[in-house]
Each structure stands twice: as C-alpha cells, then as structure tokens.
Structure 1
Amino acid sequence: MKLLSEFVYRFRKPIIFSTFIITAVLAYFIKDLSINSDFTSYLPETDKVVTTLNYVSEKFSGKHIAIIAIESDEIFSKETIERINHLTSKFRLIDGVSYVTSLTNIIDIKKVDGGLEIAKLIDEYNLPKDTNELCRLKDYALSKDLYRDRIVSADSKIALIICKLREGSDDVRIAREIKEIVTEANMKEKVYFAGYSFNILEVSKIIIQDLRLLIVLALIVIISVLYLSYRSFCGVILPLISVFMSIVWALGIMSLLKVKITLVTNVIPIVLIAVGSAYCIHMISKFYEEGSKGYDRASQIKISISEVVVPIFLSAITTMVGFISFIFGSYLTVIREFGIFSALGILFAFVISITFVPAILSLLQAKKDNDTAEWSLSKKGGDKFNLFMDMISKWILKNKVLVIVIGIVICVLSIFYVLRVQRNVDMTKYFKSNSEIRIASEMMRNKFGGDMPVYFLVEGDIQDPKTLTEMKKLQEFIKSQKNIYNPQSIVDLIEEMNDVMGEGRTIPDSKDKIGNLWFLIEGDEMVEQLVDPEKREAIIQATMPNFSNPDEMHELGEKIQEFITKNIDTSIVKVEITGMPFINEHMDRAIVESQLMSLVIALVFVLVCMICLHRSIINGLVGIIPIVFTLLAIFGFMGYFEIPLNLATVLVGSISIGIGIDYPIHFTNRFRIELIRTNNELEALSTTLKTTGKAILINVVAVMLGFLVLTMSNLVPLQNFGILIAITMLSSGTATLTLLPSAILLIRDRT
C-alpha cells in the first residue's frame, strides 16, 4: 500500500485531470441511452413461451395490443358511433399498427335471400343516424357472441377500439400517438387506455421522471446529512463527486455497449449512491482523523491510503460478488445486466475513492488545529457524540449476552414472517391504486374479462374438419375455466356461417364445405389475425386479467396443458400456449430462482472472504452476523407488511449483502487494530465506535434518508425498494455496531 499512497500523492494532479477527462467523455455518450420497458425482453429469447410469443407475433401481425375503451351513457348513439369511426380511421394510419378492430369495421355474417352476406357490422361510409336504426343495431350487436363483451359491453355503455401492433414496432411511440389522437378528438365520452402498450408507456414516462427528480432529491438529502456531519467542503462534495463519477462511468459504458435502461437497471444510480458513497466517506473520515493528530498533508494522505485501502478493497470485491451473483444465479437477462453494471459501478467507485479522492484532499488547504480536532461534527456535537459512544461501549461490554439474545429473538420472529413473503408480477400493481392504468385495468377485468391476450397456437390442416373439431374442444375447455374469457378462433366464424346457411351451428363435415365457406371470408382482417395465409396454423385467442397470485396462473397453465395432453389428438394438431400472463408466470418463477441462487452464491463467497480475512472459520462466521441479521430482518419486514417479491424488490437481498459486508469489514479491521494497540476491550471498542463507527453512522443516515426519497416514486415497486433499502441500512448499521462487537467479545471471553 505504500507504493500506491506514494503514487497517488506524487501524481495527484494527473490523476485528477485524467479522471475528469474520462468522466466528460463517458458523460457525452449517456445521451444515447434508451429505455426498454418491454417485459417480454426481460426473459431470455430462448425461453419457450417467449419464442412461441415471438413466432405468433410474426405470423399473426403482432403480439401486443393497445385498447381504447370509450364509455358513454349509450354507445349506440349517433355522436358516439361517429367518434368511434373517426378514431378507428385515424388509428389505422399510425405507422406500426397492423390492425384496428371496432364496432365500425368488425366483420358481420348475415343471412340474406339466397344465402349469406359477409359485410361490416356498421358501414363506415353510411353510419346510422336514425334512432330506430340505432336501436336495431344495438339489439342486433348485443344478441351476438362475436360482439357482446368482446367489443361492446353487455350494458352498451363501453365500446372498445383494439389496435394490434406489428412485430418490431415501437410500442411506446404508438401508444403516445394514440393518446395524442384521442386528445385532439376532444372526446365528450370518458376514455380509458388499457393493454400492455399503455402500461409500458407509463413505465417509460415514470422511469424518466424518477431519474430526473428522485436522484436530485436523494442527493439534496445526502448533502444535508453530510454537511451536518462534516461541516466542510470536501466532506460534503467529495462523496457526491465520487459517486457521480462512478454513475457516469457505469451509464456511459452501458450506452457504448448498447444496453438499454430498464425498470431494474434504472436503480443502478441509486445503488451506487448507497454503496459507493461509503468508500469515499471512510477515506475522508480517516483523513480527518489523521489530521486531528497533527500530521502534515502528505502524511495524512499516505497513512489514510495505507490503512483504509485494504478494508475498502475487501468491501468492494465482496460487494461486487454480491452483484455478480446475479449473472450466474438469474434466469432473467434484465437482472443479469443489473448485476454486471452494478458490479462495474462498484469497481469504478472503489478506484475513484482510492485515487481521485485522496488526490483532491492532498490539494486542499490544511485546516487549523482547532478545526481538525473534531473531524466529523461540530466541536460541541463531537463531544456529545463521543460521550454517547463511551456510554454505548460500556453498555455493550456489560450486556453483550443480552444484545445477542435480543438479536436472536428478532431473527426468530423474522423467520416466521419470511415464510409469508408473497410474489407478484402483476404489472398493473406497479402503479398506484388511483392511477389511470389501474382504473382502466379494473374496468377491463369487470366488463371484458381482462386486457391481457393469451394465444393458443394450433398447427394442422386448418380447413380439415378434424382439426377444427380439436380446436373447438380446446376452445370450449378454455371457456369453462375461471379467469380466462372470450376465447375466439376461426371456428366461431365457420360455425356461424354454417348456421346462417341452415346447416346448424356446427363444423361442416367435409373440407369442401369448409372451403366454400372460407372463400367468403378470405382476406378479411379478422380472419388474417386468426389464421396464417397457408392455412397450416391458427390461433385461439382469449383475454385474461392481471394475476396478483402467480400460483393461480401456474395452476391454470398446468390444468390447460393437462387437458391438451389427455384430450387433444396430437396426431391431428399440435398446440403451444403463450401470452403475457404466461410470460409473467415464467418471470415469477425466474424471480424466485434468481433470489435463491444469487443469495446462496453471494453468501458462500462472502463467507469464504471473511474466513480468509480473519484466517479463522469462527471469526469468519462472526463477521457475517450483520449480513444474516439484515437479510432476515428485510424479508421478515416484507412478510409482515405484505411487500411482494417482484422485479425491483428481488434486488434487495444481494444489495443487503453488498452493504452488509462493507460495515463489518471496516469495523472488525479497526477493532482488531485497536485491541492490539491498547489491549483494553473498553478503550478499543470506544475508539472504534468514535472513528469507524462514526463513519458508518454517517453513511447509514445519509443513504437511508436518501433512499426514502424513492417513496415519492409513482412506481409502487420502487417505493417499496426505497423503504427496504432504508431498512437494510438501518439493520446493517445497527447489527454492526451492536451485535458484531458483542459476538467478538463473547468469543474472546471463551478463548
């Protein structure tokens, strides 16, 4: 470490200059960062449900839909029909929209003299105007399963315009354009926006708003705490500059590698504020401590680097492993990306804290002796703090067994609630209960069965009666199931045409008859969305509500798969299931597996590091006490307050390990040094609490309050994430300053 300290001091100006240059260059590339809020891309492309959904999207002109729901006292009024027709025609012109379905362009199969007629339910060039005509239209539309509760509600108060988005199109842009068109139309009716496309539009908007607002608010809070703690320029500005640089470097590298910002990687800047700031604070604290002893500036820098670099390095490397564990332990690509770039950001924060920070400190004008005597608080406040730490030291020495017992009781209670932690991948629950998205989703659930499409891909000769019969069996089974609504396929159209022709509502018994009927509907937009041009593949599509309980979704999927295996003739057809509900179910399973695997990998590595650091299995186990305590406290808190495991909160475990390892490494390193120096437990503990303990407390308070700013986010998972990280900081800091010294002292008493 002597070589490093001399290098930093000797080349301090080039280090500062080069650091600013690197920051400026990488900051330039951040402007090219884009946002990816498409949840289907969060799973690997090789995932079976994802590959099937992408295939369906390519074959049938899209996988995502944007739903515009129009609510009126009476949908079948002249003015409302005109506005629906106007919007339908406008939406069809949007680049990326493959099909638009509404009352004014949906297919209609009518019986006429001499046979049947295939037309539109409403002629867009001759809209009904007469009251009697509108009443007849209403009665007719509500009498047919093809329209009732699919495109218009049974009470005729809500009508849907459904836009299907072409594969590869920009869903966010299209959703934004749709909203702009509706705004320009000056609708008198109430309008809801539902469906996946509007969900990701809102997520994208909130991500941008949060990045702009919450990081600034978090920094203001942290600046306030640092100022109250240090009362100096470098004590406030340097931690922020170092963290800012590490954030810029990480995001700049992301941009250069064309990695997009997601709901998960959006958290990286705040993670670096939490974890990265600690390294700088420890360096500054040691610097001030040495300054209070009367050392000159050069000696302050060299001693600070020599004594702090090793614990900072160990903290950084173990924290990085906590994040790298996501690479090996997560099935979700988005969480792997989070792990990679969080670890990279931690590496940058470490490098900056041991080079740039001491280089800056070496150039600052030395303070007067009376100013450096109390290095982190005002003179009066510092005296009170030191007296308080003396009291804490005496109390811990006297009550170390009680401290351990209290810790064990909290852990046992936490385990009870850990078992109650729920999971939730319902995207609508990411928004506040009074948000437009939640209100629209609830309306769609109540009136139309949901706004999430599911697809059953059927492979076979679609014009063969046997194939259609197998499809009908599956469709009827789907219709009988709870939480899946309005299954629709080419079978419905074939049977309706057959019924109009007087043959009954059944599937024709020959390919020729089916071919004759098919000729009448070939080329219709609705048919093109249900059957591929070669007539070798078709889909049964249905709608589902968002599932709050992923176990119910899994159970439904298993039930449908079991029916297919036992009742569908696979020699005639092959069936594959996909859709966003099943994507969410896979994501839920991946979240649970990611949590378990990443925690196991991180804990094992951290334990090995602690054993190597202390050269003792017992001391290594003692060193991870704050981590274990924090993990149990966090997940117990989640279980007690019913905070679910989701894309954001799944990160808390490994972040807790990253934060949790930093404090005990610094604490045990200083405590061991003081025990050797003084050979007095009380003096060693008191000195450690007044120095390293003070730095830990400053970091805990600053970051805890900074993360509580996330409770102002419009995304519920980020609100919960902020609360959980704040609890993590509090638990980890408290355990390090109380449980850890108690355990160390108890072991010393027995050896």
Structure 2
Amino acid sequence: MIDVIMKLATGYRRSVFWLLTLITLGVAAFIPSITIDTDPENMLPDNNPQRFFHNEVKETFAMHDMIVVGVVNENSVYNQQTLTDLHTVSSYAESLDGVVSDDLMSLANVDNITQEGPGTIRFEWMMKQPPENNAEARYIQQQVEDLPLLYNTIVSGDNKAAAIYVPIESKDESYALAEQLRDKISTLESGDDWHITGLPVAEDQFGFEMFVQMGISAPLAAAVIFALLWVFFRNVRFISAAMIVAMSTVLITMGALIAFGFTVHIMSSMIAIFLMPIAVVDSVHIMSEFSDRYREKGNAKDTIKDVLGHLFTPMLFTSVTSAIGFYSLMLTPIPPVQIFGAFVGSGILLAFLITVFFVPAYLCALKPSTLEGFAQATHEEHKDGWLQKLGAVAARHAKLWIAFFLAVLAFAWFGIQQININDNPVRWFKPDHEVRIADEVLNDHFAGTYNAYVVFENTLDTTEKARSAVRDALNNDALSEESRDALSALLEQEQVNFNQWIIAIDDLLFSVGSDQLEPLERLMTELEQLNTASKAFQSPELLAYMSEMQAYLQTTGLVGKSNSLSDVVKTVNRELRSGEEKDYELPDNANGVAQTLLQYQSSHRPQDLWHFVTPDYKRSLMWLQLTSGDNQHVTKVVNAVDSYIQDNPLPANIEIDWAGKAYLNVVWQEAMVEGMLDSLISAFVVVFIMMVLLFRSVVFGVLAMLPLSLTIAFIYGLIGWVGKDYDMPIAVLSSLTLGLSVDFAIHFIERTRATFKQTGNWQDTLAVMFDEPARAISHNAIVIAIGFTPLLFAPLVPYITVGVFLASIMAISAIVTLIMLPAVMTAFSRLIFRGGQS
C-alpha cells in the first residue's frame, strides 16, 4: 500500500496538485448557495408525533409564532406619551408585510368588554386612538385591570410595562421584522425602554449572527494554527502543506454538505471549525518525524517513504476511530446532529486521504536546500528535555499516578450524577446581548413571554353513535315507508350534522301519524343529547375542571398566567349579569355557556374565540404563559399538570396533550440525551473492537481505551460539578472526545510496541517515546486546543462552550495519555511486555 501511495504521490506530483485544486474549487463553488436553519423544530424529524401534533394544533387553533415587543416605564405605562408611542408602534407593526395583522394584540387592537345594560354587553376598542391626557390613560388602566384575559398579558401586573404581540406568517422573517420594528422604535422621542424578544426572534437572530460567525471563526482558526505550526517548525513553505490539507478538507466538506441540499444548522455551522484543527493532525505527525529522519537520510523520497511506513497504520486507525466517534452521532434521532456527525466523520477520512497523497507529493517537490535548513532548525528547537522529565516522573511514581487517576474517576462519577440537562435558545446569546436583556426584562414584568399549550380533546365518537341511533329507529315496525326513506337519506350523508338531522326529524314529526311519534321523538331526544355531548366544551362541568387546573397551576409558581375558554365565558357572563366581580363565574348549564360564546362572537375580534376552542367544541386549548423557556422549567410544568390529573382525574372521554415551542424543546432534548448515550456506547464498543484488532491484543486494546475513558468521565464530571447545563453542544462533544482521545493513545501505543521490539527494554523504550513521538502528540494537542480558541471570542454562547471544552478536552487527553499510559505500562510491564526486559 505504501509503495502504491508513494508511486502515485511522487511520480505524479503535478496530477495530485491539479486534482486536489480542481476538486476543491469545484465542490466549494456550491458554498454561496448556503441556507441557514436555526429552527429548533427541525431538531426533530418531520414524522415525529409531537412535532406533527404541535403543527396540527397551530393550524387548528390559528396560533402563530409571535414577536413580543415591550415598552417599560419605571413609573407607569399609563401615561399619555407612552401609550401614544405604543399606539404608533402597534399601527406600524400592523402595516408590515409578513405580520398577521388581524391577530396582533396590544392595547390599540383589543376589545374592552363592558355591560351596556341588564343582559346586554358592549364591545369597544380599548384604545382606538391614543389618549389625549393622563386622565384618559388612567381610565384605560381601570378597564384593563377589569379584564383577566388582558391583565398581566398585554400590560404587566405592576403597570410598568406594556406588550405588543406581533403574530408572523413565517418564523424565517422574524429577524427582518424585528429589525424594522427596532428602526421604527429608534424614531420615538420618549425616554421609555423598548425591548424585542420571543423565541422566533432569538432563533432567527441567532441564525444571522451564526452566519457571520462562520465567516470569522474558521479563518481565525486557520491563522492561529498557521502561527502555531510556524512556532513548531519555523518554515512557512513546509507548514503550508498542513494548511492546504486543512483548507481543502473544510472547503470540500462544507461544499458537499450544501451541494447535497442540506441546510446549515447550529451544529453543522461548526463543521469548519471542528475540521480545521483535526485535519492537520496527521500532517503534524508526518512533519515531526520527517524533520527528525531527514537529517539521517538526506533524501526526501526515501525519508517520506520511511515515515509513511511507520505512521500509515496508526494514522489510518486514528482517522477511522475519530470518524467512528462522529459517525456514531448518526444513531441519534436528531437530524441536524446526524448530518453534523456524517460530514465531520467523512471530513476526517477525507483529510487522511489528502494527507497521505498530497503531503508526500508536496515535500518531494521542495528544494533540498529548503529541507536541509528546515531539518537543522527543527533539530535545534527540539533539544529541550521537559518531555523526557515528564516520562521519567510518570514511570518513577507509577503507582501514585494510578491511584490519582482512580481518585479522579471517583470525582468524575459523583459529578456525572449532578449533570443538569437543560437548554433554551435565548440562552444561546451572551447575558449582555439585546435579545437576552429583552427576555429578562419582559419576563421580570410580565406573566411570561414563553408559551406552552395544554390541548384538551373529547374522544367520544358521537357521529357513529348518531348513525347507530338512526339505524335502530329504522328497525322499528311502527315507521311508515316515507319515514324510513327520510331516515335512510340521513345515513347516506357523508358527515353527521346534528342540527340538520334534528331539524329533519322535527319536520318529519309534523307529517306522521300518532303511532310514529314515540320512536321519532325518542330518536330526536337521543340526537339532541349526542349533539350536546359532542360540544363537550360548552359543558360548565368541563370548563370548571379547566378553571380549577388553572388555579392549581397558579399556586405552583411555575406558571405566570394561564388563559382558557373558561376565562372568556366567565368574563362575558359577568358583563351579561351585573358587571360585578361576584358574577365572574360560569353559567349553570350548557345553554348559558353557548349564549356567552354567541355574544363574544359579536365583538371586533370574534376570531380570538377559535384560539381557545374549535368551532365544533370538541377540542380546547389552555394557553400557559411561562417566565422561563428552560427545559427544566417546562418539564416541571408538565409534571405539575400530570400530578394534578393524577389527583383529579380527567372527565370521561377527555384526553390532553402538549404543544408549543417551549414544550417541543423538551421533546428534542430528551431525544438527544437518550440518542447521545446510545451513540456513545455504540462507538465505544466499536472503537474497542478496532483497538483489539489493530494491536492483535486485548491488553493493548484495553490500554488504548484508558485515556479516552478517563477524559470523557472527567470532562462530564466537571460539567456536573461546575453546574454547567448539559445542552446540545456539550452532548456532541462526547463524540469528539472519544475520537481524538484514542488518537493520541493509538500513536503512543503503536510507537511503543515498535520501539520495544528494537530495544527489548522498557526503560530504553520510554526514553525514545518521550522524544519525537511524545513531541508529535504534544504538538498536535496544542495545535488542536489552541486552534479552537477563536471560538472564545464569539458573541454566541454555544460557540464559546465548544471552544472552552474542546481546548480542555485536547489538553486533558494529551496529558492523560502521556502520564497514564507510561504509568500503567511501568506498573504492569511484565504483563504487557512479555518476552522483553521490564
């Protein structure tokens, strides 16, 4: 294999260069067609039941994604200037393309419900025109505080903030719409504070800033890696080989991702920054050994052939194991994570192929004088002995180090038990970002800007019962032929319309003899009962159950406020009776409920009713406002509802389910955690089998797994101890840890075995190992760790998280490899090195 590669690489150098150039440019040409996607919904497959239900609920109840615009006045928003500005911004928002203006909610767009007289109510705009003075503003305050549906929703309970809920046609337009609103707000002259938040804004703005970050982080990483390689090798021409490998790998991988039609999600946006440092790993190994051996041989072709002979197998296996670590992510049920794993894994294998063909060709193309100067310079640079001292310390205190590592493992185990699984798209921004500030300010004043929906559904199939009742009536011998024909005509209808069927039977009663009255009247009564049962959410008992659940949730402190059909009915019923608080209650019967709902439909916004109930009254939605979108918080709310239902069972034939963006985030987080665990275990087993096959030894296979096991345990234990939330970026890091930690172990063990065969003595082997091999490992660790540091300066928290933990993983993994393996090999040298002197 080595001979074939050398023949192709050195015999057809120009062809290798041109082929790499053409492939890189050809595939990279697709990059300008990039499409950004930051919608957390896409963390779940299209056919996911919860996602499907969520979208079906949005369509059924006409629920739209919303931008929340808030104004804060530390004294009170109920003043002439603030309310005038609110009216201005509200009217402007209505005029924007992409806004569902009919459903926009603000003081300027909602109804005030008051009593016109006994049994009569009046609907008028709450603030059709801005108030002309503060007295009018205070009158508006009185009206708002009298309407539970509006109070603490469009005006905060402390009266210091007011909100405009801007429903949008497409969440992809939220950033552009938010920018237009910011521009309008900037023209206002009052000193009020304005904020814009909402999950759609956070997600879309993240996408915009992510796109910018992609164009900054990867080039910065390339510059940092280039500088590091220059420090190590002090020759620009020589290190250019590694940089060309890295750049080609990144451009081809990202180009292929886009060419295949995949969108760039938060994870796939990190592909470039992941691959940039990883792609130079094999090049650094080759260059390190090449620089040592060239002084002995003095011939580039012979030297590179000798170097490849030593490094090809460990490089192949490290590339494959690293790729497996990322390919394991394809086992998760999260599409963006699957794509990320597939393309990073493929990128690592691509980097290996480019390295073994391009780097030999490139080195052989350099002038001998350039290589002589390079080899001499690097030889002088490598005379320091800190690595030899490290190896000696590891071997001299082997048992002490083993005890230390066991203690670290125990520390990690307890830390892992404390890991908190949590995520929230708003927290993807730094604390000083305008979106994060807006979220904190508005949720501090209001009942909550995060939404979750509890959907109640009547599962009773009244249509089949109605058909069955008609069929039973047909079997009655008292009915005439004409009556049978009339009833048969009803059964031929595709849908059961209770009102039409009842009217048809009522008409039939006027044309039949007295002997037919009893069965037909019995049928009509049964249909009327089924009609009432089908309109479950006109039942005072069911509405009372929902109201009691709302009251319970309010006591938990988890829900800022809840709104349901029950609140609509109570409000209208109060105004129909006396307009006083004592009549803020549900009517006594279904007819009373129906009357209140009919009255509500004469308002300026009758469509608002259908946000809470379907026209057939078979399904109803309870809107929960939450002050936090954290998964942990939403999970507690779900558990609170489950607990209430356990103590207070749902009425007969009623079921509930959940929808809303905040809830969907919980669904995909749970799927991710479970999927990540499966992928990590699967990859661990596969890598262990590969290690046993590579070394043809179970002992060496176990040795290779020790550093990565300790590194993964320590990193995740540390996450638990410091209280860092286990979110999506953290979850993905497990695959990188597995792939790259075993990389160092493979090189160390493979070179140790080869050296031991030559020396036959562990002490001499140790001295050799802590020269060039240890130097190559430390160089690679430094290159990869520092290569990720540009992420620390990103404005987006997931990028900072990845930067911090990847740098830590590389440093810890290299240190563990260079200390743990020598310590274990020293302590168990008789078992490990049979046939030689321990």
Q: Considering the TM-score relative to the shorter chain, is it more than 0.5? A: yes
Aligned equivalents of 2:587, 2:421: Cα separation in 1: 47
SS in 2 for 1:459: strand
- Equivalent in the alignment of 1:686: 767
Q: Does 1:434 align with 2:432?
A: yes
Aligned equivalents of 1:549, 1:89: Cα separation in 2: 35
Q: Does 1:128 align with 2:100?
A: no
1:369–1:36 CA distance, 2 compared to 1 (3 A): closer
Q: What number of residue pairs does the alignment pair up?
A: 744
SS in 2 for 1:454: strand
**CA deviation map 1:490-545 (0-9, x unaligned):** 32222211111117333334444444433333252422433344544331112112
**Greater mean alpha carbon deviation, residues 427-436 or residues 644-653:** 427-436
Give the C-alpha shift of residue 427 in structure 1. Answer: 3.0
Matches within 5 A, 1:291-690: 291-328=294-331, 330-367=332-369, 371-374=373-376, 377=378, 379=380, 381-384=381-384, 387-460=385-458, 461=535, 462-502=537-577, 504-522=583-601, 524-546=606-628, 548=630, 550=632, 553-564=634-645, 567=648, 569-690=650-771
**Greater mean alpha carbon deviation, residues 576-585 or residues 520-529:** 520-529
Aligned equivalents of 1:425, 1:406: Cα separation in 2: 34
SS in 1 for 2:147: coil
1:314–1:369 CA distance, 2 compared to 1 (3 A): closer
Aligned equivalents of 2:396, 2:649: Cα separation in 1: 73
- Contact 1:62 / 1:165 at 8 angstroms: preserved in 2? no
SS in 1 for 2:264: coil
Aligned equivalents of 1:652, 1:211: Cα separation in 2: 19
SS in 1 for 2:407: helix
Aligned equivalents of 1:603, 1:409: Cα separation in 2: 22
Gaps in structure 1 of 5+ consecutive residues:
none
Aligned equivalents of 1:323, 1:435: Cα separation in 2: 32
Aligned equivalents of 2:171, 2:808: Cα separation in 1: 41
- Contact 1:394 / 1:682 at 8 angstroms: preserved in 2? no
Aligned equivalents of 1:251, 1:570: Cα separation in 2: 54
1:223–1:169 CA distance, 2 compared to 1 (3 A): closer
RMSD: 2.5
SS in 1 for 2:84: helix
- Equivalent in the alignment of 1:737: 818
Aligned equivalents of 2:172, 2:212: Cα separation in 1: 24
Percent identity reads 21
Gaps in structure 2 of 5+ consecutive residues:
459-534
**CA deviation map 1:450-508 (0-9, x unaligned):** 21111122334244545534433443333343211221123222221111111733333
Structure 2 residue identity aligned to 1:740: L
Q: Does 1:697 align with 2:778?
A: yes
1:463–1:388 CA distance, 2 compared to 1 (3 A): closer
SS in 2 for 1:657: helix
- Equivalent in the alignment of 2:512: none
Aligned equivalents of 1:276, 1:368: Cα separation in 2: 24
Give the C-alpha shift of residue 118 in structure 1. Answer: 4.2
- Contact 1:320 / 1:343 at 8 angstroms: preserved in 2? yes
Aligned equivalents of 1:21, 1:62: Cα separation in 2: 50
SS in 1 for 2:195: strand
1:368–1:361 CA distance, 2 compared to 1 (3 A): closer
- Contact 1:151 / 1:161 at 8 angstroms: preserved in 2? yes
Structure 2 residue identity aligned to 1:106: V
SS in 2 for 1:68: strand
- Equivalent in the alignment of 2:7: 6
**CA deviation map 1:225-265 (0-9, x unaligned):** 11010111244322222112111112111111222222222
Aligned equivalents of 1:268, 1:698: Cα separation in 2: 22
- Equivalent in the alignment of 1:171: 174
Aligned equivalents of 2:370, 2:159: Cα separation in 1: 81
Aligned equivalents of 1:187, 1:46: Cα separation in 2: 49
Q: Does 1:100 align with 2:179?
A: no
- Equivalent in the alignment of 2:827: 746
Structure 2 residue identity aligned to 1:725: L
1:170–1:71 CA distance, 2 compared to 1 (3 A): same
**CA deviation map 1:430-465 (0-9, x unaligned):** 332233233222223322232111112233424454
**Greater mean alpha carbon deviation, residues 631-640 or residues 112-121:** 112-121
- Equivalent in the alignment of 1:15: 16
Give the C-alpha shift of residue 699 in structure 1. Answer: 1.3
SS in 1 for 2:326: helix
- Contact 1:487 / 1:540 at 8 angstroms: preserved in 2? yes
- Equivalent in the alignment of 2:510: none
1:120–1:349 CA distance, 2 compared to 1 (3 A): farther
Aligned equivalents of 2:655, 2:393: Cα separation in 1: 72
Q: Does 1:69 align with 2:144?
A: no
Structure 2 residue identity aligned to 1:497: V
1:547–1:198 CA distance, 2 compared to 1 (3 A): closer
Give the C-alpha shift of residue 129 in structure 1. Answer: 0.9
- Equivalent in the alignment of 2:41: 40
Larger gyration radius, structure 1 or structure 2: 2
SS in 2 for 1:508: coil
- Contact 1:243 / 1:272 at 8 angstroms: preserved in 2? yes
Give the C-alpha shift of residue 93 in structure 1. Answer: 2.7
Structure 2 residue identity aligned to 1:359: A
TM-score, reference length from structure 2: 0.84
Aligned equivalents of 2:626, 2:752: Cα separation in 1: 59
Aligned equivalents of 1:650, 1:435: Cα separation in 2: 24
Aligned equivalents of 1:332, 1:176: Cα separation in 2: 31
1:361–1:533 CA distance, 2 compared to 1 (3 A): farther
Structure 2 residue identity aligned to 1:432: K
SS in 1 for 2:770: helix
Aligned equivalents of 1:517, 1:409: Cα separation in 2: 69
Structure 1 residue identity aligned to 2:550: Q
Which of 113, 116, 137 is 1:112 aligned to? Answer: 116
Structure 1 runs of 4+ off > 6 angstroms? none
Give the C-alpha shift of residue 398 in structure 1. Answer: 3.4
- Equivalent in the alignment of 2:197: 194
**CA deviation map 1:189-238 (0-9, x unaligned):** 21011210221133223312322333333222222211010111244322
1:440–1:36 CA distance, 2 compared to 1 (3 A): same
- Contact 1:75 / 1:81 at 8 angstroms: preserved in 2? yes
1:10–1:147 CA distance, 2 compared to 1 (3 A): same
TM-score, reference length from structure 1: 0.93
Give the C-alpha shift of residue 70 in structure 1. Answer: 0.5
1:184–1:524 CA distance, 2 compared to 1 (3 A): farther
Structure 2 residue identity aligned to 1:104: A
Aligned equivalents of 2:406, 2:207: Cα separation in 1: 43
- Contact 2:391 / 2:766 at 8 angstroms: preserved in 1? yes
